[in-house]
Each structure stands twice: as C-alpha cells, then as structure tokens.
Amino acid sequence: MRFKFILILIPVLSLLNCNSSDNESDNNQKVFRFDVDGVTHDYSEDIADATLYNGGTELSVSAYPIESVIKEDLTLKIGEVTSSKIVTEGVYSIGNSTGFINENIVFRDGTSNLPFELYAPEVAYACDVLSDLTVGEINLTKLDIENKLISGTFSGSLFQLEANGDISTIKISNGVFTNLPLGTYEKEVDTDIVNAKLNNINYVSNNVIGLRTQSDGDKIKLTASDHNFGRIIMVMPAEVSAGNSYALGNDNVSGVFFFNYLTRKTTENSGNSVISITNHDPDLNFIEGNFYIENASITLINGEFSAFYTDNYN
C-alpha cells in the first residue's frame, strides 16, 4: 500500500513543480505593448530595453519592431542628466506641472527616418510638455537595479507638425512594459549652460553651441537645446561688456528666442529681451550673464547663461 501511495505522489509533485516553473516563466516574461488610436502595437518579441544614465538621473525606455528598425519606434523619457534628482519608482506626469521639462513620450510611425532632435515636420509625435493640462503619464512600477529589470505603464496625447503647417494628434493608451532589461551608461555632460524658467517650468540645457559670427554684423550666438522639446537661441552684439544690460528687440537679428521643436511657432519669438552681462572675456571667448523675455506669448524669466564660444567669421 505504501508503494502505491509513492507512485501516485510522484506525478502530483511533478505537476506542481511544472506549474510553478511555468508561473515563474510567465512572471519574468518581457512585455512592451500599447495602443495608438485603438490599434495595438506589440513589441514584446522585438527590441525593447531601458537605459539608466549618469547614476540614475535620467531613464530612457525604448522599443521598436525588428523588421522596421529605424522606421517605427516608441521612447519614454524620465529625468535629465543635468539634474541632481534621481529617477525612482512612481508616477511622472507630463504637462500641467512645475518642475523640469524632462518627461516625454515620443512615437515615430514610420514616415520619417530623421533623428528626433531635428523636429522637422512629420518626424515624430510627442507630448506638449508646456501644456496647462496633463497630457501624458508614465508610471514606473518597478525599477530593480540589482536584477536589472524595469516595468511600468504609460499613456498620453501626442501631436506632430505636418508639412502643411497643421497639427495632427494621436492617443497612446494601454501602454505597458514589463521586465525589460535595464542597462547603465555615462553621458558626457556639457559644462556650458543656458537655463531659464519657461512658462513656470525649469528649462535646463544639456547642449550649448557658442559662435561669434559676422554674417549679420559682429554677433555672439548661443544655441541651447534640452533635446526634449525646445531650443533657446541668444544673439547679442560681440562688444557687450561686463556690468552692462542690453535691451534687444527680438527682431530676428538680436535677442533671445525660444524655438518650440514640434510646433515651430514663430509667434514664440515675439516680445523684447534683456541680457545682462556679468563676465565677458574676449581673449578666452567666454561669456556669462542673465536674461529674460517680456511682452511675449511665452513667459521666460530667471535666465542664466555661461558658455565658451568659437570664432566663426565665415
């Protein structure tokens, strides 16, 4: 009788072990899926991973189908390497907030292979991070540094500039990513800065290009990008000196301009700007100071800049 009991027990234990193994496999399964206007895009069997940059200050989650490597992709961005804030588990809202212009959801639908930073017409859909409304959300539910896995959900309303100047919109819903592999990487951080409070949100540059040019008078031009939504361009006379302030008319020759990548609205270049110089060393090609824009369609205050520039007289 004991012998029969053992024979019956062995298959039962085997079945339990098998079910346990299957459940563990399901729990560790990689998933990346979302709907675009109700149509499901499933990248679970394709390329989907995440990268944590510079000690955890910035996180990028991206996925694209194998058969369309550079034509279609979706990217989630949280944080910024120029910030001291560490990315943690939690909900990250896009729009309708004070803070940094760091979070975004970007989707390219296969109509263009141009880099996202160019923001030419029809390049990519992305959230309007300057919106007064909450236009997107990324919920980071698991950030497992030890086991190098990440999970979460996302949704949002995205828009794109069309070639004819119109704006098209899409709705991302039911976005989920589960057990994506998490890598780490150290980005080089630009020590030059152009920062400001833009519509009550902190604009922090992560790339600044400084040039002295004589193509339209002798000018110093600083072009700053946050690689997420917009660019601040500063143009001032080359003879500016420390301790002086300069009122500039934003006349497309001199002034401070904010360039919205996605809408490319020229109205955002209106108004007047004031640049105050705290240090200018023409021998070292170094300049720093403060700035703001007034009487414009956007609010830009508390601006500060510190950058080297290159002579480019051609």
204-219 residue pLDDT tens: 888 899 999 887 789 9
Residue pair 64/75 in contact (Cβ under 8 Å)? The answer is no
Q: What is the pLDDT of residues 30-67, one digit of tens each?
A: 999 999 999 999 999 999 999 999 999 999 999 998 87
What would you measure as the largest C-alpha separation in the chain, in angstroms?
Answer: 103
Report domain extents, the chain: 30-185, 193-311
Three-point CA angle 168, 174, 178, nearest 5°: 125
- Contact criterion met (CB below 8 Å) for 271 and 251: no
pLDDT of 52 = 97
Cα-based distances in Å from 40 to 35, 44, 67, 71, 175: 4, 12, 17, 17, 9
- 86-139 pLDDT, tens digit per residue, is 999 999 999 876 566 788 999 988 776 665 554 566 778 988 887 888 999 999
Please give the angle made by the CA atoms of 14, 18 and 21, to the nearest 5 degrees.
140
Tell whether the torsion through CA atoms of 301, 304, 307 and 312 is positive or negative: positive
Per-residue confidence band for 146, with pLDDT thresholds at 50, 70 and 90: very high
pTM over 0.85: no
